[in-house]
Amino acid sequence: MEERGRLDGDSIDAPGDPFEAPRCPTPQRARESEAPLPDRLAIVEDDRDQRELLGAGLRKRGFAVTAYPSRSAALHAFAAGRIPELAIFDVNLAGGDPADRDGFELCRELQALPKSEQVPVIFLTRLEDHRDQLTGLSLAVAYLRKPPDLELLAAQARSLLAWTRRLYCGEEDLEAPLLRGNLRVDPGASRASWRGRPLELTYCEFEILTRLIRTPERVASFEELCDALGSNVTDNTIATHIQHLRDKFTRCDPEFPRSTVIRSIPKRGYAWQGPADPA
């Protein structure tokens, strides 16, 4: 018999309540927080082992995860305003009440709540019925077989979050110049400058910097940065590129706050914490 778990979710891996102020595609989160905040995912999976495996794997890849053991527990939290930025639902959920077993219905209920109609949903299932697949794809944006490959699931989640933000939040053109305080990055021309002085960056340094500043304050995981650079890249390689990147900022500006602007988040990755406006 599956345990009930906490009504508001089995686990939350960030201090305090990570659902206090939803981010776009729900309303933009306040940026006064000192700590970078990872993307927030909700998992609804009745099987304890699968739930723990998915939660641990996605946390390791840089996400904040809240896991729920049933449709009713998840719906109670969603209705109370604990809206995730992306949801992962098992299609067939165990439970005494047949209505509690339906991941499709949970998706409809989530999308009917205020400020949650744009939350992307990934369905996980062992079902092979063609009608179930069509139903799932009419509600969600992805439909994966169980058990999913965790690297593929994490990549799918990152892709959907980026797509949703571009679609609903007016995220900037990928080739348009990015302005973050005294930093200007021009992806189209592969140029960057700090306080008007050019930064001489390698391809890898430029790609890492661009990835960090597209979503300031958000943690870019080691896996995400490795994926951005391609094959034969490790966590140590990323750490070396970050060190060189900080060195080049410091050579450009001896007063550059290297450790507070490009922050290291132990066991998770890195985040850009520079000011939003020019000093």
Q: Where are the domains of the chain?
A: 40-168, 178-272
Cα–Cα distance list, 137 to 52, 124, 134, 142 (Å): 25, 11, 5, 7
263 — phi, psi (to 5°)?
-90, 140
Cα–Cα distance list, 47 to 4, 5, 52, 132 (Å): 11, 11, 9, 20
Helix, strand or coil for residue 130? Answer: helix
CATH topology of domain 178-272: Arc Repressor Mutant, subunit A (1.10.10)
State the pLDDT at residue 170: 54
State the pLDDT at residue 17: 41
State the pLDDT at residue 128: 59
Q: Which residues of 142-165 are buried (b: 16+ CB within 10 A; e: fewer)?
A: bbbebebebeebbebbbebbeebb
* Tokens at 109, concatenated: 């209920």
Q: Is the pTM of this model over 0.75?
A: no
State the pLDDT at residue 221: 85
Domain spanning 40-168: CATH 3.40.50.2300:
yes
Count of Cβ atoms closer than 10 Å to residue 183 Cβ? 20
State the pLDDT at residue 71: 86
261 — phi, psi (to 5°)?
-85, -50
Contact criterion met (CB below 8 Å) for 65 and 164: no
Q: Considering only CA atoms, which of 231, 106, 21, 203 is closest in space to residue 122? A: 106
State the pLDDT at residue 67: 93
Measured distance CA(226)–CA(217) in Å, rounded: 19
The bridge status of strand 40-44 relative to strand 64-68 is parallel
Measured distance CA(39)–CA(243) in Å, rounded: 25
The residues near 159 (Cβ < 8 Å, ≥ 6 apart) are none
Beta strands per DSSP E along 126-267:
142-145, 178-180, 183-186, 191-194, 197-198, 220-221, 262-265
State the pLDDT at residue 174: 60
Low-confidence ranges of the chain (pLDDT < 50): 1-22, 24-36, 96, 98-100, 171, 276-279
Question: What single-letter DSSP state applies at residue 195?
Answer: T
* Residue-level length of the chain: 279
State the pLDDT at residue 135: 57
Question: What single-letter DSSP state applies at residue 216?
Answer: T
What distance, in Å, lies between the first and last C-alpha atoms of the chain? 59
What does the pLDDT look like over 142-187, one tens digit per residue?
A: 778 888 888 888 888 887 887 777 666 554 556 678 888 889 998 8
